[in-house]
Amino acid sequence: MSGDPDVTFLAGALERRLTILGSTGSIGLSTLDVVAHARARYGANSFPIEALTAHSNVDVLAEQARRFRPRLAVVADERRYADLRHALAGEGIETAAGPASVIEAASRASDVVMVAIVGAAALEPTLAAARRGATIALANKECVVAAGDLFRDALDASRATVIPVDSEHNAAFQLLDFAQSHAFERITLTASGGPFREWPRERMQVATPEQAVAHPNWSMGAKISVDSATLMNKGLELIEAHVLFALSADKLGVIVHPQSVVHCLVSYCDGSTLAHLSAPDMRTPIAHALGWPTRISSPSLRLDLASVQHLTFEAPDLERFPCLRLAQDCLHAGGLTPTILNAANEIAVAAFLGREIGFLDIAGIIEDTLASRHRDMAECPSDLAGILAVDAEARDIAHRFCRARAA
């Protein structure tokens, strides 16, 4: 590190070794943007990288590996391994492929693991990182939703620390005074309302994938953007907050805030409500998670309230956006209902993006899948094998409902 006083003070944070699971997606790209900014500002050795992983985007992964010099690059799709090995030949970077190699990447000796994989595919790698006591920068909500108790148990049994990266949970993490948990009265997560906030259901019935992913404020991947459009994203976040912060369902709420400037509100028993504000830029919570407990510089947009001018809030409409209601029901029901909710949602969203079903069919498929699994929910085991079995069965059921609606 240089002799700059700032760099000397930040040395402990900047020297931490980083693994990024899902480096070619939206969160992964933003994470590497923060790393590049840190290296330009503080020194080229900031945030040395242990491993980068991608699902199948070998071209971007290889470009990232050449620029950021990880020890290991992994592509989850084994069919792309030859391409990755060829792209990085002579670079001195270890390469691997397959889901087991992604888990191995999470298990390697890094200080911070950024979990930016979308969906329940992140579950096993995240558990591997938790079990070895890593600091987990968690940008994936589905693995917590699908395996909440298992995830919590893994954290309790290790030295692992979770720093949430979702803007709302990261805001809550900064606002919550855990030494006074008795005083928590309500934690309110904000939702932009998505692109269909003012659309009648008749118009949503014919909404296209292109319209659903055109989020008014955030730049996100396709799946998360559709979840935002259905408000399922906020429902999954309620379940995630319940697990991460050990908060009862009655202390969690959602409010629609179209400007996406206020990310969370924490109300205390003395009548105080604290709000976290920032521009809608994921690099802000990413920088907070990478540097925690020290704050580091970020290239993110800065908030200009004079430019924003108005901050508005409204209650969510559960009639037009039933996915939020379904998620709230699963939060109260507990057990493995969130596992089924998440699995069915992933299948339904993929079918919508593939133009196999309509936008409003997403909620119907989730509700039908939950109903079909309701009777034997109590007998389901909650170990990893049981959770994966329930997840797989729910996906099969959701697939059948998708095919029936597409017929």
Asked whether the bond before 338 is cis by omega within 30 degrees of 0, the reply is no
Residue type, 280: P
Q: What pLDDT sits at residue 380?
A: 59
- Per residue, the 3-state secondary structure of the chain, as one string, reads CCCCHHHHHHHHHHCCCEEEECCCCHHHHHHHHHHHHHHHHHCCCCCCEEEEEECCCHHHHHHHHHHHCCCEEEECCHHHHHHHHHHCCCCCCEEEECHHHHHHHHHCCCCEEEECCCCHHHHHHHHHHHHCCCEEEECCCHHHHHCHHHHHHHHHCCCCEEEECCHHHHHHHHHCCHHHHHHEEEEEEEECCCCCCCCCHHHHCCCCHHHHCCCCCCCCCHHHHHHHHHCHHHHHHHHHHHHHHCCCHHHEEEEECCCCCEEEEEEECCCCEEEEECCCCCHHHHHHHHHCCCCCCCCCCCCCHHHHCCCCCECCCCCCCHHHHHHHHHHHHCCCHHHHHHHHHHHHHHHHHCCCCCCCHHHHHHHHHHHHCCCCHHHCCCCHHHHHHHHHHHHHHHHHHHHHHHC
**Biggest CA pair distance of the chain:** 67
Percentage above 90 pLDDT, the chain: 83
Q: Is the pLDDT of residue 59 over 70?
A: yes
Distance CA 371, CA 8 (A): 57
Residue 214 neighbours by CB distance under 10 Å: 12
Determine contact, residues 166/139, Cβ cutoff 8 Å. Answer: yes
Q: What are phi and psi of 349, to 5 degrees?
A: -65, -40
Contact 80, 97 (CB under 8 A): yes
Average pLDDT of every residue of the chain: 93
CB 345, CB 222: distance < 8 Å: no
Q: Can you give the length of the chain in residues?
A: 407
Residue 399 has pLDDT above 80, yes or no: yes
Residue 265 predicted with pLDDT over 50: yes
pLDDT at 1 over 50: no
Radius of gyration of the chain (CA): 21
Give pLDDT, residue 132. 93
> Average pLDDT in the 235-248 region?
94
Model confidence at 113, pLDDT cuts 50, 70, 90, reads: very high
What is the CB neighbour count within 10 angstroms for residue 335? 15
Q: Which pLDDT tens digit goes with each residue over 177-188?
A: 999 999 999 999
Mean pLDDT of 349-368: 97
Q: For residue 129, count CB atoms less than 10 angstroms from its CB and return exposed for 0-12, middle for 13-18, buried for 19 or more.
A: buried
Q: Are 168 and 147 in contact (CB under 8 A)?
A: no
- Per-residue confidence (pLDDT) for residue 142, from 0 to 100: 81
pLDDT band (50, 70, 90) for residue 378: very low
The burial of 62, by beta-carbon neighbours within 10 Å (0-12 exposed, 13-18 middle, 19 or more buried), is given as buried
Q: Which of 70-84, 343-357, 365-379 has the lowest mean pLDDT?
A: 365-379
Give strand pairing partners of 273: 267
d(CA 357, CA 374): 24
Are the C-beta atoms of residues 346 and 395 closer than 8 Å to each other? yes
Q: What span, in angstroms and rounded, lies between the C-alpha atoms of 350 and 226? A: 10
Q: Write the CB contacts of 228 (distance below 8 Å, at least 6 apart in sequence).
A: 191, 192, 194, 215, 218, 220, 234
| Residue ranges of domains in the chain, CATH in brackets | 5-165 (3.40.50.720), 167-280+298-318 (no CATH), 335-407 (1.10.1740.10)
